[in-house]
Structure 1
Amino acid sequence: MIKILGATTAAMLIAGLIPGTAVARQSAVATPSTASAGGCMVLAGSVTAAGDHAYKTVVAGTPSRVLASGTLGRGVYPAGAARISQSMTWGDDGISLSFVSGDTVLGDALYRAQYTTGDDGVVDGTVTRVGGGWGNFVAIEGASYWDSVVRRGNAYGLTSDGTLYRWTVDSKGVWRNKVSAPGFAAVKAMTLISSTLTYDTFLANTRGGALYTIHIPTGAPMKPVVKQIRSSTWQGFETLISQQCGNYGTLLLGIDRDTHLGYLYAVGHATGPTTVIQSFGKVSTTFADPVYFHWDDGNATAKPPFGE
């Protein structure tokens, strides 16, 4: 049973930012170790029109295919309420229970979901209102860096006027020290591809069709560095979802919300215009849900993404 709570959570646990809070669901998440992108996977999550959490495990190949798909949690949110979601953390107990946590914007407020569920999709947990003022945000994401322990955590949000915000997430999960940088109004979609001790990097496409990296040093003041990867043809994607592909780089899923089609790419380590991009073409399924995001592995032994 999911309970919608109205009280603001002053010190919420950001499990989507702080890894190691759940055991990995190895049946759905793969960590390829080969240099080739073929066979790598990206775990795409979605919020359905009914408010369910769903998943598709997309495998790179010729053709690319869906290895597994289904509903994880039923009735997590009110039907039609979700607008955007950060990456959500999904782990399991190795037997029958899954553990899910992460942030979603419902209407103009930010909510945190934390629940457990079994194979029947019945959920037990809460969706807690964190705070209002999120009506003009068009993207949210979390980023963290850890080795043996968590070294830092950050949260990001992009508004419709092109302002990119960053918060520092402390050890208790509280968002602090909000800073911002303008100039990103052309961005259509963005996805995290790198988190190190000193910077985060997003891959972003623009309405004009260009593909860029947005390199954001963690120091103050916030001064993103933008590099062009490609100059055209990327304008069709309203959603970008990425996952580390072994030592190769990044497996990238672009979703065209107009046609409900997805296209898969392997992006080598980002080096500006010399970045190698391998296309795997159209994925043999449709993407018709209203909100898409990336399912993060809850395994404490996983490594932060390193796509730049």
Structure 2
Amino acid sequence: MKPRFAIIAASVFVGAGVAAAPAASSTPATPDIPEVRAAASSTLPCSIEMSIIGAGRYREIRVSDTTSPRTVTDFGEVPGGRSVRSLATGHFHADFGFKLRYHLGNTSTSLFSLSARDDEDSKEITVTSMGRGWGGFRRLVSSGEAVESTSPVSLYGLHDNGSIYRYRVAAGAGGQRVVTGAGSVAGFSDLKTIALIGVTSSYHALLANTTSGQLVVIKIPTTSTMTATRTVIRTRTWQGFEHLAVADCSEGSTNVLVGIDHDTSSAYAYSMAFLKNTTSSILGHGQVAGSWPWLVFTSLHEEGNPPQGA
């Protein structure tokens, strides 16, 4: 049966306690490709899944080998998709012939949730507005998916003003998400992008690159008072990537990293050990096949199995 496509724009609601963000400023980009030790094979230790929005359309991309064609699932047009600035880390459920992906994201003005579902007959996108005042965030990262049966998850936003903000996202009655502020830390104006790389009961870890070329891990304790520590993993040549995506291959001992360079519409793949410091192993698997012209990327993880790579 030929798949049918449906796009559903759900009713608008405002998340409680979502504070308007300060005014935005821009961050320059400097293209470069990291100098790393080459891996023996272009085959990655595990596949990596990513979600993208390009030209207003939502797609899922799966890469298992840098030289083989990637697998792309196109869901179609996203309501308001051409103004999307960032998608937070995605989480998916797959069972009985269907797969459901869930993201938070922001446009130039607002926060929204997006779900993308497909089975053998259809593909469906649902977008729900959650509040205004989010245009200043250039990257969002989520520690998990907020559902009624779990504790609130953390949403982190890298803002143009150089701060990282934390919010708690809880699922209320009928699945309505409630968002409340949970602190911020200044001093990150040199970061280009952030990606989720570690979730434990005591801290959340973000992987980031800087405008000066460093690759760093930022650990944020799950305590009520927000603090953050920065650990340098590599000191130079990582400034060329506008997006980073991470996959956990074996409970943190091995990970896959894909970096996307907007200037050349290209992507590069790496395998990594658990990231502790500058001695942690990173191997380069080379350029990923195909052109990568899309401007909004994020990692996509199975719900309940967050990365543990730092």
Range class of TM-score, shorter chain: 0.7 to 0.9
Deviation at 1:99, TM superposition (A): 2.1
Look up the equivalent residue of 1:297 and give its one-letter code. E
The aligned counterpart of 2:308 is 306
The aligned counterpart of 1:160 is 160
The aligned counterpart of 1:29 is none
The aligned counterpart of 2:31 is none
Q: Hey, what's the Cα distance between the residues in 2 that align with 1:93 and 1:87?
A: 20
Aligned residues: 272
1:242 aligns with 2:265: no
RMSD (CA atoms): 2.4
The aligned counterpart of 1:189 is 193
- Cα distance 1:56–1:162, how it changes in 2: closer, same or farther (>3 A)? same
Q: Hey, what's the Cα distance between the residues in 2 that align with 1:118 and 1:220?
A: 40
Q: Hey, what's the Cα distance between the residues in 2 that align with 1:220 and 1:79?
A: 34
Deviation at 1:120, TM superposition (A): 6.3
Alignment equivalent of 1:40, drawn from 22, 42, 46:
46
- Cα distance 1:199–1:98, how it changes in 2: closer, same or farther (>3 A)? same
- 1:141-152 alignment to 2 at 5 Å? 141-144=141-144, 150=150
- Cα distance 1:237–1:175, how it changes in 2: closer, same or farther (>3 A)? same
The aligned counterpart of 2:82 is 80
Alignment equivalent of 2:204, drawn from 177, 200, 205:
200
Deviation digits for residues 203-249 of structure 1, max 9, x if unmatched? 10001111111011111321111011111000000000001021433
Q: Hey, what's the Cα distance between the residues in 2 that align with 1:145 and 1:86?
A: 10
Q: Hey, what's the Cα distance between the residues in 1 that align with 2:167 and 2:80?
A: 28
The aligned counterpart of 2:20 is none
Deviation digits for residues 139-170 of structure 1, max 9, x if unmatched? 11110499xx8455211111011110111234
Deviation digits for residues 64-119 of structure 1, max 9, x if unmatched? 43452231x21123352221111223334422x43232212122111112353345
The aligned counterpart of 1:117 is 118
- Residue 166 of structure 1 aligns to a residue whose secondary structure is strand
- Residue 269 of structure 1 aligns to a residue whose secondary structure is coil
Deviation digits for residues 160-213 of structure 1, max 9, x if unmatched? 111101112345342224200000000001111100001001110001111111
The aligned counterpart of 1:33 is none
Q: Is the 8 A contact 2:182 2:224 kept in 1?
A: no
Deviation at 1:258, TM superposition (A): 0.6
- Residue 251 of structure 1 aligns to a residue whose secondary structure is strand
Deviation at 1:127, TM superposition (A): 1.4
Q: Hey, what's the Cα distance between the residues in 1 that align with 2:145 and 2:277?
A: 23
Alignment equivalent of 1:70, drawn from 51, 70, 73:
73
The aligned counterpart of 1:275 is 280
The aligned counterpart of 2:29 is none
Q: Is the 8 A contact 1:64 1:280 kept in 2?
A: no
Q: Hey, what's the Cα distance between the residues in 1 that align with 2:282 and 2:109?
A: 37
Structure 1 residues 180-189 or 112-121, which shifts more?
A: 112-121
Q: Hey, what's the Cα distance between the residues in 2 that align with 1:102 and 1:145?
A: 8
- 1:215-294 alignment to 2 at 5 Å? 215-247=219-251, 248-294=253-299
- Cα distance 1:170–1:128, how it changes in 2: closer, same or farther (>3 A)? closer
- Residue 77 of structure 2 aligns to a residue whose secondary structure is coil
- Cα distance 1:67–1:80, how it changes in 2: closer, same or farther (>3 A)? closer
- Cα distance 1:113–1:226, how it changes in 2: closer, same or farther (>3 A)? same
Q: Is the 8 A contact 1:145 1:195 kept in 2?
A: no
The aligned counterpart of 1:56 is 61
Ranges in structure 1 where 5+ consecutive residues have no aligned partner? 12-36
Percent identity at matched positions?
Answer: 26
Ranges in structure 2 where 5+ consecutive residues have no aligned partner? 1-5, 17-42
TM-score norm. by structure 1 comes to 0.80
Deviation at 1:136, TM superposition (A): 0.9
- Cα distance 1:306–1:145, how it changes in 2: closer, same or farther (>3 A)? farther
- Cα distance 1:188–1:107, how it changes in 2: closer, same or farther (>3 A)? same
